Amino acid sequence: MRAAVVGHVEWVRFARVARVPEPGAIVTALDSWEEPGGGGADAAGELVRLGAEVDFFLAVGNDEVGAQARDALATLGCRVHAGVRDEAQRLAFTYLDSEGERTITLLGPKLHPRGSDPLPWDVLADVDAVYFTAGDAGALRAARQARALVATARELPTLVEAHVQLDALVRSGVDPSEAYESGLLELSSRRVDVRESRPLSQGDLRAGAYVCIQVADTGSGMTPEIKARIFDPFFTTRKVGEGTGLGLSVVHGIVADVGGAIDVADRAERGTLISVWLPIVGEAERVLPPIASDWPRGNGEAVMIVDDEQPLVELAEELLAGLGYEPVGYDSSEAALLAFEAAPQRFDAVLSDEMLPGMTGSEFAFKVRARRPELPIVLMSGNVSTALEARARDAGVRAVLHKPLALQELAECLSKFVSDKPQAAPDAHSEANPAPSPAPAPR
């Protein structure tokens, strides 16, 4: 995935303390460190750690701290595109205790990118998603080039000025500037086959197959005047500074774009029920990447695939079948281990995700190699870190591949390890006690 963040950075100095100090108290820090922070930098860092390619558009101060922040972000793995301001880089000081409680003191104004900055804004047209945390209206309009645009509710004035459609709006239950008032909600979804067209409060529902998503609250309902305006952009019943009035407007735009409709109904003394109707259009045909004629191929070797997401298991099966292997997929490490123990000589290689619920991929590899030390095992992960590579080495894993998988890299990796594997000695356990027929792959 290729992502981008348009936002801000603060250079944050942390002090870890036993307890956040009361006013007037003097405390001794247990530890201290410095790193880039702020909503934009935090989002960019998390996206990098999740395995995304990240372009970060920001502004920094024309001083040593600004250069330090920019260099630290580049070291983290971001492609940094920074406008330079003739003012000091914004600083922050934070106390952080063992329970996660913290205080933040900010020094200086927030520096944000502008659409007029000479930055490579055109690259955003090739980005899957942009998260907007700070910037002017020109920067937000540039961010709209991406396939998906997500923004924080903190930037309400800019959202109003730019007047672009968002794909999602991020709010918070604890930050007043991103406030969300909690309450009791009932959520449900079901498939409905509509036989005749009928009008709803927001759009006409045509005949066809739909998924109906319903959200009901336990409030007092709405007046007719408010109900008539809830989907208007920037209309809100909240106090100034506590809401954006964009949430339902964004929902309405997305639903209308896909040919759906929305119905709003008041329930007597039971609050409001909103029904979102989304048309079922079927599954798109899966297009597999082409396989070059000079790539190494298998010769019917059985490869075990382990991933907790069934669509990814099926995709890997199709890719490996196209490369000449016999793929056998499992959607949990526990099911895969049972199948392996039933017929340990069945498999010529194992391809497993690392982040599996229960037993991780490296733990699974350790158990498999305890029975068959010569079996080639390859791990895959969207976040390949030094710690993961160390765990993989300790478990005897031959290689760690990045997700999403590059088909040529996968072909070359499997060919190398499968063709190099030594011939295993007959398994004494299975000779004396013939195993039952292999368990079929769960589908």
DSSP character string of 71-91: HHHHHHT-EEEEEEESSPPPE
Domains, the chain, in order of start with CATH, read: 2-170 (3.40.1190.20), 185-279 (3.30.565.10), 302-432 (3.40.50.2300)
Q: Between 226 and 80, where is the model more confident?
A: 80
Q: Provide the pLDDT for residue 388.
A: 82
Residue 49 pLDDT > 80: yes
Cβ-contact 134, 140 below 8 angstroms: no
Does an H or E element contain 32, and which? strand 31-37
What would the DSSP string read from start to end of 371-426?
A: H-TTS-EEEEESS--HHHHHHHHHHT-SEEEESSPPHHHHHHHHHHHHHHPPPPPP
Does an H or E element contain 304, and which? strand 302-306
Q: Provide the pLDDT for residue 268.
A: 57
CA-based torsion, 45, 46, 50, 56: positive or negative = negative
Structure tokens, 116: 């007029």
pLDDT in tens, 138-185: 999 999 999 899 998 888 778 878 877 788 888 765 555 555 444 455
**354 phi/psi in degrees, rounded to 5:** -85, -45
- As a whole number of angstroms, the distance between CA 95 and CA 17 comes to 7
- As a whole number of angstroms, the distance between CA 422 and CA 244 comes to 64
Residue 71: count other Cβ atoms within 10 Å of its Cβ: 12
Q: Provide the pLDDT for residue 222.
A: 75
Report which DSSP code applies to 277: E
Residue 239 pLDDT > 70: no
pLDDT in tens, 180-207: 444 455 777 888 889 888 888 887 888 8
Q: Model pTM greater than 0.85? A: no
- Stretch 31-44: mean pLDDT, rounded? 90
